[in-house]
Structure 1
Amino acid sequence: MSQQAFNRHRRLRGSHSMRNLVRETKLSKEDLIYPLFVVEGQNYKKEVPSMPGVFHYSLDLLDDEIDKIVSLGIESIILFGVPKHKDDVGTQAYAEEGIVQQAIRQVKANHPHLVVIADTCLCQYTDHGHCGVIQDGTIENDQSLSLLVKTAVSQARAGADVIAPSNMMDGFVASIRHGLDEAGFSNTPIMSYAVKYASAFYGPFRDAAHSTPQFGDRKTYQMDPANRMEALREARSDIQEGADFLIVKPALSYLDIMRDVKNESLLPVVAYNVSGEYSMIKAAAANGWVDEKETVQEKLTSMKRAGADLIITYFAKDVANWINEDIERGRH
């Protein structure tokens, strides 16, 4: 009696080399963007309590950290600033000697080929912790745009390779694109936080950036996690307004949105593997509940599989180191 024919899918899984040969989605060091938090002062390096392995750096200690990042083969960073002085209009966000502007100049002077992305927002710089100007308890959209333009231009003037506005004000890409062009930075690309949800996964970042809102929340300008079609409207607007990259934030709980955005656009899509997603794995790994390397690699691969071309992740140094170790083992 002849055996019924069936497919033998396991033929392509029989060895490590065979699995590598047919792997559809691959994670590389070039995919990674590493976030850094810079602070004012001297001789300051302090771990963020809710983010093991993530630190605040004063400028005098920043060079050593950048050297390590470059030595691992990471080619892109994104800078966040934590100023000493805050006010109601976020003056230090667009000050020529603001902490991020100083950091950009310093990094580019020592590593001109490193891609330096500047996060462009007001929340770390305002005393109320919101991403725009407050009037009568309301975040004013159009008044905020002019300050965001000033911030973007000051960052480009300092030498930022990419401007990454994260504020979610309506029209922010169009305004910043116009402002950059007028200031002579028509070749500076915009990496828009095009799809940014009002997520519970941002908690540790607010600890790191000292940007927790002092009243209310950000639900009037960040997106409702329940909405899918709204993400496409936001992405289409930013494409029309001149964005060069589209960020989806957070990443892990929004892989369906990432695929939608990728299908919608020919622009590079960036996944932001946010602080809460980072800290959960760090906590679980510290307790021996998960294998950190395997879990992180699976998670980041899922983002690429969903359509991400690039990934902003606090795991970038770890991943780069694991890739380097795998390469080295393959040589012996």
Structure 2
Amino acid sequence: MDTLKKTSQQAISAAYPAMRPRRLRRTETLRRMVREIILTPDDFIYPLFVRPGKDIRKPIASMPGQYQFSVDTLVTEIKDAASLGIPAVVLFGIPDEKDACGHDNSNPNGIVPTAIRAIKDAVPEMIVISDMCFCEYTNHGHCGIINTPGDTHYTPNLPEGYLLNDATLDILGEASVVHAQAGADIIAPSGMIDGMVGAIRGALDVNGFDHISIMSYAAKYASGFYGPFRDAAESPPQFGDRSQYQMDPANKREALKEIALDVAEGADMLMVKPAMPYLDILAAMRAEYDLPTAAYQVSGEYAMLHAAAANGWLDLPRCALESLTSIKRAGADMILTYFAKDAVRWLNG
């Protein structure tokens, strides 16, 4: 009897075989009961591209299942998204005309303010996020005003082709107010311009829009995963690249510095972009700050999953949902994803 009791105690105190985690993986129902991360429609923000015209639903070749919409077809798409329970969209505009300062972004009758008003008339409960950058609106494809000889903003002591930080802050504030007047719920500055959150917060507040939130692209990297987006938004830089203002992919401590600055300037929500290559940054941000966090599963992440699936190399629904789960597990409260509609349908079975 004593020998049996001793053996039993040794078994109970040992990690194996007393502890068998596989017991909780035995059936689908058990796995569902103990699942730590659960995706729901409320997790998703749907990025959409809007352009002038009527009855346009132009396929984006590098992003299967994604389109450039005119305002009328955009409203139809958003009604469909709302019927699936998706709570928010983020808009990217493709104007008729581009210029050196991206004036269409600050035009009350520009493409995005026009789209915002149409969405709010048709689906008032949909949260509309305005991506606040100038790359889609400028003829040079950069995210603000470029130092150019002969231009009124030209600064001789700065290199030609350099993005002028403080001049760009002025137009960011101006455009943000215009988009807020049109009905945007959230302004999302994405250019990694120093002081962008403070400038936008100040412009919104002084114009009576202190209730409008700012979702900052607080850590946006100069990534190779943006390629299909530049096709979708028709916004490739006409010279150089965006590494002079977007972050070096090798840097983590710098990201935490950038995030801290945006928090101090009044950001309401924080974003990491891209998502999967930077899950360590997302997790570090989530651990450090209590603000709501977002991550952008960018066009390249979306496109490469589609490309692999088209070649029969992986199961698209399974791998897309796995990647979205990894983003939420790393700390994202919200995920900007082109899979938004498909993901809801896959989750609903």
TM-score, normalised by the number of residues in structure 1:
0.96
Are 2:141 and 1:129 aligned? yes
Are 2:216 and 1:192 aligned? yes
* Alpha-carbon distance in structure 1 between the residues aligned to 2:263 and 2:161: 31
Report the counterpart of residue 294 of structure 1 in structure 2. Answer: 318
Within 5 Å, which residues of 2 pair with 1:220-235? 220-235=244-259
Amino acid aligned to 1:185: F
Report the counterpart of residue 180 of structure 1 in structure 2. Answer: 204
Report the counterpart of residue 158 of structure 1 in structure 2. Answer: 182
* Alpha-carbon distance in structure 1 between the residues aligned to 2:210 and 2:198: 13
Give the alignment partner of residue 81 of structure 1, picking from 88, 93, 105: 93
Identify unmatched segments of 5+ residues in structure 2: 148-159
Structure 2 SS opposite 1:190 = strand
Report the counterpart of residue 294 of structure 2 in structure 1. Answer: 270
* Alpha-carbon distance in structure 2 between the residues aligned to 1:324 and 1:114: 21
Give the alignment partner of residue 140 of structure 1, picking from 143, 164, 175: 164
Give the alignment partner of residue 331 of structure 2, picking from 290, 307, 312: 307
Deviations 1:125-159 (CA, angstroms, capped at 9, x unpaired): 00000001011321100000000111111110000
Deviation at 1:63? 2.1
Within 5 Å, which residues of 2 pair with 1:30-41? 30-41=42-53
Report the counterpart of residue 101 of structure 1 in structure 2. Answer: 113
Structure 1 SS opposite 2:30 = helix
TM-score, normalised by the number of residues in structure 2:
0.92
Deviation at 1:324? 2.3
Report the counterpart of residue 215 of structure 1 in structure 2. Answer: 239
Report the counterpart of residue 50 of structure 1 in structure 2. Answer: 62
Amino acid aligned to 2:67: F
* Alpha-carbon distance in structure 2 between the residues aligned to 1:270 and 1:189: 14
Within 5 Å, which residues of 2 pair with 1:16-35? 16-35=28-47
Deviation at 1:120? 0.5
* Alpha-carbon distance in structure 1 between the residues aligned to 2:52 and 2:185: 22
Two-structure CA RMSD over aligned residues (Å): 1.0
* Alpha-carbon distance in structure 2 between the residues aligned to 1:199 and 1:62: 28
Are 2:75 and 1:63 aligned? yes
Corresponding pairs, count = 325
Identify unmatched segments of 5+ residues in structure 1: 326-332
Report the counterpart of residue 151 of structure 2 in structure 1. Answer: none
Deviations 1:166-185 (CA, angstroms, capped at 9, x unpaired): 01110000000000001100
Deviation at 1:322? 1.3
* Alpha-carbon distance in structure 1 between the residues aligned to 2:311 and 2:84: 27
Amino acid aligned to 2:328: K
